[in-house]
Structure 1
Amino acid sequence: MSDPFAKTRACFHLPEGVIYLDGNSLGPLPKAAAERVRGCVEREWGEMLITAWNRAGWMDLPRRLGDRIGRLIGAEAGSVVLGDTLSIKVYQALASALEMRPERRVILSDSGNFPSDLYMADGLIRTLARGHELRVVAPEAVEAAIGPETAVVMLTEVDYRTGRRHDMARLTARAHRAGALAIWDLAHSAGAIEVDLAGARADFAVGCTYKYLNSGPGGPAFIYVAPRLADRVRPALSGWLGHEAPFAFDPDYRPGAGIERMRVGTPPILQMAALEAALDIWDMVEMPAVRARSVELTQAFIAGVEAACPDLALASPRDPAERGSQVSFRHPEGYAIMQALIADGVIGDFRAPDILRFGFTPLYTSLADVEGAVAALRRVMAERLWDRPEFRRRARVT
């Protein structure tokens, strides 16, 4: 039987001599994306001009691509739409959820959440000025912290630093028993692990597309609203494309039907063209197979690094059922070590204060990549290649 991941790997542009383990931060270029974007620029924008909104189906892209992403995250048809950035989608989901629980004042999150999500919550609280509180607890304390005052539980399913994974179904059920709503950030889940939003009865979910989904830098975010809520939520950001009839140019806002109301501004068509090409690759595989290969890769990497580099401490859960598709190690000189490793042709990234982070994407990551990365890391550590001034200088992006 042919290896489906050999076929998907051939669909990506991977620079010669580079082992890329940073797809959890920015996915590599799908080979078809350049031609797809070029066609969008030349044949659609160039030749059709503004008529491309109808003739090329631009206006339908956010919903159509949303359904394709929905397949990867266990969402019901017609419950996902794309556009804007992840922070905007967090704001939308949180504002709508708080309005649905007007008598409650606590937004519960955890210390492993991505800081931008917490920033958006803090900003919304200050804007509302109604006495809401952002309560942040340790990841393992979330379940016990859900109580009768909780309006919303807002969590990132997979911790961006360690890869620690929350139990979405259990925590969502706990939130619902307490009368709260659940918002899930899938930035490190979509395309990395099996997600079942419908089965878990999640209320809202958001995520980006430029990591495991490979839409390119600045690719659009997505938002999910459970169908049982979709016609009840009131969008705080009442953009014209979320209007029931955008081209009626009605001075009064009337929300569109269902998930359409969560659209805000004009969609980034060129970026969506790149995403469309990337999603064609996802059509070649099924998520259970992707997850199985991810576990194989991450387990092999952990075993290899622990045998070769005893000075590195595992920061990720050892049990693959408790982590996403990334592996993190700790070291006081983590930043310099990562820079030396990148100089040696293995690209991961660093997260403060001391985490070396490696992402594993079965669509293009192989066991040979794992072996090569372990060998390079062994060399960097054994020869102290990291102990150079140029590797200690912090760049703006780490």
Structure 2
Amino acid sequence: MSGGASTSRGIVYQGIVCVLNSLVNEEWVKVVVEPKVEKKDSDKVDISWTLLDSKGNQSSKATQVKTTINQFTIGNIGSWLDELIEKTPNCDHYELSLIGNLAPSAYNLAHKINNQERFTESSEIKWSKLETYFGKISVVSYPINDDLFFRAIVTYLTELGEKHKLNLKFGDYSFASKALIGDVQVLSTKSVEVSREEYEKQIVHWLSNIRQEESKWKEAADKSYKHIVNRAYELCNLESWKEWYTPLIMQTFKIKPNQITNFHIFFDEIRSFNWPNYPYKNDYLEKSILRFKDSLEIIIEAFSNKCIYEPYSKMNVVPKHFYLPGVSQEEEEIRAKDYYNWIKEYQGLYIELSKSANLFADTVREKLDPTFLQFNGKLGGFTYSNDEINKIFNT
């Protein structure tokens, strides 16, 4: 799986696929999640299974999970199966599990592999050696649909709980499903082979303690959000918002150098912050904090590019050249004109920052702490419309 956001998505769905297989597939007797293998660069196997047929014969299966927000291609399927076979030559079965959409040609190739039909299209011929593995290779695909997978997990966890006579309600299974999405380590075997009985026992034990886990995770998530909100409050001087923000609006922009430094500390902390995962990930808080951070970072960068330390005090950062003393009247008029053009150019940034600050404060009061900046009124006086707020939170 590739890096970045697609890796995170792949890890989440890898866990989902493993859960579904472990709960509905009666063939397997042992499993290794994210197994270690000796050969270099052979991390293509995400899950390996030991299967047992009706006659008591054991066989092995290697499953590779891939995900993408783009379309899978013939080349993807061919190369991944080829690599999977090459890296794990002693396996009896190879399964490529694709989470996402398949291009029409890729869909046709997958269909032919699963039905053991000859490759006839020119784009398929390159992978014709895979025909020698017919009966041992398969391709399964799932759409990227959070709701679909979530409902399936709830259903199968409920079946597992009822099988073991756990006294849980629907809400408990719903919470457990969200928790699995947020923490797939619950499913990990730490690269150690475990039996079906052991693996099921591991999940059942976790499931039976889900109510205690719920309280613990909620407390941890609230603590995490309160920490980053407090850092925003401290580093961005929100209590004294009007003292440093009003000069921006009044076109007499001055700001202390140490405040600029604190802003950059805040930006860095947000970039490195580990946001809580589901089920207590709060998208509203996260999006409002990030919106405020992005708006503040844009305006500070814009002004910093135009500013220098005030020559006579070394205490404030002011617009470059606009306040330099000792210039002629003509030069002063030119600078004044440039200054007002500059202010007009960045006026939208002032307004956006104020709107994002108010959205941040309102969201914190609603979702986390009703007393947050309770008596400060509207910061800067500008707010988003309801349509704008809906768009921010729904994208």
- What's the TM-score once normalised by structure 1's chain length? 0.25
- What's the TM-score once normalised by structure 2's chain length? 0.25
Q: Greater Rg, structure 1 or structure 2?
A: 2
Higher relative contact order (CA 8 A, sep 6+): 1
